[in-house]
Amino acid sequence: MKKTSAILWQDAQHQVLFEILDLIAQPDAGDEVLRHLHDYSEHHFALEEHYMLALDYPWTADHIKAHDQFREEIGSLLELGEDDPAFRAAVSTFLTEWLKRHVLGIDKDLEAFILASELK
């Protein structure tokens, strides 16, 4: 039986996102780390969404809705400008848990769909 491989760009980008989330939990993390999380997650979500649209992925709307939720969380964090280390650590934990569920959940479904397509 042929083993399906993972999608390298998706795995690599998830890894980077988890690393940035770890940085946010550091006591000396500044606003630029949040800005980096904002920019990098946008880059990652946009690429996944590009594949969904290009492949006419049936669960595109739900998946984009999930990404939008994460976008909103980061957007309100940036607006808050909160630099309390304990708050940042709590945010990091919350977003990390969210991302783990997302990566092991609907991102896996998308990965399987892309792998089965011609566009991989």
- Residue whose CB is less far from Fe ion, 80 or 101: 101
CA distance 118 to 97: 32
- AA identity, residue 8: L
62, exposed or middle or buried, with CB in 10 Å at 0-12, 13-18, 19+?
exposed
- CB-based closest residue to Fe ion: 107
Say whether residue 111 binds Fe ion (CB under 5 A). no
Say whether residue 107 binds Fe ion (CB under 5 A). yes
Give the per-residue contact string, 36-55, with Fe ion (x = CB under 5 A; - = no). Answer: ------------x-------
Binding site for Fe ion (CB under 5 A): 48, 107
